[in-house]
Structure 1
Amino acid sequence: MKKYCAYVLLGLAVISNAALAKEAPLVSIPTHDAFFNAIKAHCGKAFQGKVSKDNVGNTFGNAKLVMHVRKCTDSEIQIPFHVGDDASRTWILAKTGAGLMLKHDHRNEDGSFHSSTMYGGHTVDEGFPQVQSFPADVYSKALFIESGIAASTDNVWQMMIYPSRFSYRLIRPAREVQVDFDLENPIATPSAPWGYE
C-alpha cells in the first residue's frame, strides 16, 4: 500500500509540474498591443534619425544615427541602434505577460556582452497607443549604482510611434535626450550587429 501511495504521489507531482510548466497567457492590453504592432509593422526596415532634444549637447557627436527594426516575433522586437560605425546597441522590446519591457543590449566588438548591458525598464501603466514609458527597473538601478552613475537610477525611457516618426527619448532630472527617426523614408538596412546574425 505504501508503494502504491508513493506512485500516486509521484504521478500527481509530475502532472502538477507539467501544469506549472505551461506558459502563462500574455496579458493583452489594447494600448500595449497597438503600440507593439505599430512598431512591428516596420519590421525589416531601417530609418535615419536626428537628435531633436539634448540638454547637455552633442551626446552622439556628428555620427549618422540609424534604427533597424530587424527581428520581430509575436512577443519581441529587436531594434539595433547604429551610431556611426558603432553597432553595439540593440533595443529589445518585449511582451512580458504583465506589460511591455524595454532592454538595452550592449555588446563589445567581439560580440560578448558589455559590462553595462540589459538595463531598461517595464511599463507601469497602460500608456498610449503612440507612447510608452519604461522607468528604470531594479536590475538597472543596481547596475547604475555599481557602475558609479547613480543619477541614472531615475532614468525613464520613452518610445513614441506615429505614422511618420519614431522617437526614442531618455529623461531624468536635469537630463533629456531624444532622437527622432523619419519613417516616411526607409534607408538601406545596415549589417546585423554582433549577436544578432
Structure 2
Amino acid sequence: MRAGLSLLAATLLAGCATTSVAKNPQDEFFASLSARCGKAYAGRLASDQEADAEMRDKAMVLHIRHCTDDRIEIPFHIDGLAQDGGWDRSRTWIITRTPAGLRLKHDHRHADGKPDAVTLYGGDTVDAGTATRQTFPVDAESIAMFERTGRSVSNSNIWSVETTDAGFTYGLDREGRHFRVAFDYARPVTTPPAPWGW
C-alpha cells in the first residue's frame, strides 16, 4: 500500500514538472517596459515619408517616466520642433491595462500645459499580440474626435509599440502612411524634464 502511494505521488510530481503554464504575452510586454521605468533613451526617425520631413535629423528622447501595475507613461521629446526652436515636450504615450487587454492613448499638450484640441486618442488591442509587439487599432472615441476636428484621414489608424532587447519602436500605419521612430536601449541618456503640463 505504502509503495503504491509513493508511486502515485511520484507520478503526480512528474506530471507537475512537465506541465508549463502558458504565459500571457501582454503581461510579458507590460513587464518588459515596466522593467525600464525611469530610464531615457536616444532615438531617431526610422521612416522616410514626406509627412515626416520636419522630424528628419532631429534628436529624440524616449522617457519611460512613470509606471504602476496598470499604467505606463512614456513621454516622447523632439528637439527643434517647439515654437521657440527648442525641445517639443508635447507628446506622452500612455499604455494601460483594461479588462480585455491593453490600451494606448496619446496625451498631447501645449507648452502652457493645456490639452491640445486633439488629445487622448488611440485604441485597444484586439488580440494577444506578442511579448515584444502590441498593436492598437483606432477606437470609436478617437474616430469621433477625428471626424469632429477634420482629421478623418486618421480613422483607420493602427498604432504599434515594440520593445525588444535592442530597443523600442513606435509606429503608425494606415493606407499611404507608415511612420516609425526607434530608440536604442544601448544609448541611455539623462532623463529629460517633465513633458508639458505634467
1:40 to 28, 34, 37: 34
Question: What are the Cα deviations for residues 18-47 of structure 1, in whole angstroms up to 9, with x where unaligned?
Answer: xxxxxxxxxxx7111001111111101001
Name the residue aligned to 1:31.
Answer: 25
| Counterparts of 2:151 and 2:124, CA distance in 1 | 20
Question: Is 1:71 equivalent to 2:66 in the alignment?
Answer: yes
Question: Is 1:52 equivalent to 2:46 in the alignment?
Answer: yes
Q: Where do 1:80-99 residues align within 5 Å? A: 80-84=75-79, 85-99=87-101
Q: Is the 8 A contact 2:129 2:135 kept in 1?
A: yes
Summarize the Cα distance change of 1:63–1:31 in structure 2 as closer, same or farther, 3 Å threshold: same
Structure 1 segments, 4+ long, off by >6 Å, are: none
| Counterparts of 2:103 and 2:54, CA distance in 1 | 24
| Counterparts of 1:43 and 1:118, CA distance in 2 | 22
| Counterparts of 2:64 and 2:163, CA distance in 1 | 13
Deviates more, 1:165-174 or 1:142-151: 142-151
**What amino acid sits opposite 2:101 in the alignment?**
G
Q: Where do 1:81-120 residues align within 5 Å? A: 81-84=76-79, 85-120=87-122
| Counterparts of 1:122 and 1:79, CA distance in 2 | 17
**What amino acid sits opposite 1:35 in the alignment?**
F
Unaligned residue ranges in structure 1 (runs of 5+): 1-28
Unaligned residue ranges in structure 2 (runs of 5+): 1-22, 80-86
RMSD after superposition:
1.2
Q: Is the 8 A contact 2:91 2:108 kept in 1?
A: yes
2:128 to 126, 145, 152: 126
| Counterparts of 2:101 and 2:171, CA distance in 1 | 19
Summarize the Cα distance change of 1:59–1:141 in structure 2 as closer, same or farther, 3 Å threshold: farther
**What amino acid sits opposite 1:55 in the alignment?**
Q
| Counterparts of 1:55 and 1:108, CA distance in 2 | 25
The count of corresponding residues between Structure 1 and Structure 2 is: 168
Q: Is the 8 A contact 2:110 2:197 kept in 1?
A: no
Question: What are the Cα deviations for residues 21-75 of structure 1, in whole angstroms up to 9, with x where unaligned?
Answer: xxxxxxxx71110011111111010011111223334252432111100000000
**What amino acid sits opposite 1:194 in the alignment?**
W
- SS of equivalent to 1:186: strand
Name the residue aligned to 2:194.
Answer: 192
| Counterparts of 1:83 and 1:34, CA distance in 2 | 29
- SS of equivalent to 2:99: coil
